[in-house]
Each structure stands twice: as C-alpha cells, then as structure tokens.
Structure 1
C-alpha cells in the first residue's frame, strides 16, 4: 500500500488489518468449535491432528515448524492428545534426543469423522471455495511478509 492510499484517519479501528484478522480468526475458530466437540478436539488439537494425518510420524521439532508453534506451546497439546489415546510420543530410534509423534489406531480412525469438517465450515461461511482459496493465498502472503 502506498502512502497516498492511506485512509483519512490511519488509526480508524474498522480500517485496521490487525483488527479484521483478529475478528475473522476468532469468528472462524468459533465455527469449528461445535464441529470438533463431538470428536473431543479443540481447534489447536485439530491442527496437530491435521498435520499428523498428512505427515505422520513427525518429530516434535517438525510438528512445531509445520504448525508455527513454539515447542513449549505444542507440548501440552501433545500431552492431552496422548492422554485421549489419539497419539503416542516415543523416542526416535535414530535420534534418542528427539521425540517422534505417531497416531494411534484411534487417532487414525478419527480422520474419517474429521473429513466432514471442511465442507461443514464452507457451508456455514457461505463463501465459495474458489473465494476461500484466494483468501488463503492472500493470508499466506501476509504470513510470509510478517515473518521476521
């Protein structure tokens, strides 16, 4: 954005990108809540499961990188998922210092129920998939631009 494109009041709340992103994030996560509740997952746990359904096994370090979460934030999520019987954390045989995270049979089976969630979210939002894909692309650019 060039300086001549700035609004008359550069501090107007409704014009702030941070405000729109914050409200949109909370609103979308709220849509997931009732869909995830029957699966026994919170939204952050769902993100962990998505990564594992696609890439398992993963080291805690790899999972942290994929989810862009600090290991200290990820550890309690993994502990709760392990207590729920969805994942196992084991020492990596090739590197005893690393923890590998694997899905249990119950965690793998949960994927089938979770496959309904994306379509339910799209239906609730009432926004075409192509439009959501464009939004995803823009948000990915924002994330990359905001990285230190």
Structure 2
C-alpha cells in the first residue's frame, strides 16, 4: 500500500511555510527602518552592486518587473534610492542608493544579524543549511530549463 500523501510531507509546503516564517521573522529587525523583507533584499542587492538596471534587479531577486517597479517607487519615495533614465539609453532605468541607503547599511545588517543569531546555528549548521537550499534551487532551475 503506498504511503499516504500529507501536506506536511510536501517540500513545496514546507518551503512556503518557512518563507512565511522568515518574512515574519525579519519584521522585527526591519520595522525600525520601515522596511519590508523584499525591500531589504533589494537594498542588499544594491549594496553589492549599486547603479544597476531594473532588469538586473529583477533577475537577481527573481521578481517580475511588475512586482519590482512599485517596490522601487516606494523605496524612492522613502529616500532609500533614486531611479533615473540612463543617459546612454533612455529605455533603461538605473537604480542608485541615496546617502540614506548607504549610511544605513551597517545598522540594518547589524539588526538583521542580531535576529539571525537567535536561530542558534553553528557555522557548520549554517553552511549545511545553505548548501541544501542552494542545491534545491539548482535542481529546480535545471528542471525548469528542461521543461522549456
């Protein structure tokens, strides 16, 4: 007799649930900066590589332009970034950190790291978790490529 399939046995459900919990988990360290989790990862990407196009951010973050554009408008309105047309190619919009975005990098990262420390991962456990998650991402990407 085959094993009964339950919701808790589904990888997709467990990842979705972990995603929900992480969004909630990040609320505390980010709320003092009036940032959402998705705004935070957008800033993380810009701290790695400032002055990029919307398309670059879309690909890097795995977000559609339709999702990213309103998010970027909110970040701009709050003073974290600027959005300007590329002088060399008016079709491209370049995203730059403002001084506020640059100056708050360390305080935001410290706040998030303090929160992450509550997970009580050893360095090896953290590395193993990251390896497992990245392996799953690669398997999913490969499957999606093969389906095309």
Q: TM-score, normalised by structure 2?
A: 0.88
Instruction: Select which of 4, 8, 22 maps to 2:3.
Output: 8
Q: TM-score, normalised by structure 1?
A: 0.88
Q: Which runs of 4+ in 1 moved over 3 A?
A: none
Relative to structure 2, which stretch is displaced further, 136-145 or 84-93?
136-145
Q: CA RMSD for the aligned pairs? A: 1.4
Instruction: Select which of 115, 121, 125 maps to 2:115.
Output: 121
* Number of corresponding residues: 141
CA displacement at 1:121 relative to structure 2: 2.9
Q: Which runs of 5+ in 1 are unaligned?
A: 1-6
8 A contact 2:30–2:112 mirrored in 1? no
Q: Which runs of 5+ in 2 are unaligned?
A: none
Relative to structure 2, which stretch is displaced further, 110-119 or 30-39?
110-119
Instruction: Select which of 39, 54, 57 maps to 1:45.
Output: 39
* Whole-angstrom distance in 1 between the partners of 2:86 and 2:127: 36
Instruction: Select which of 104, 127, 130 maps to 1:110.
Output: 104
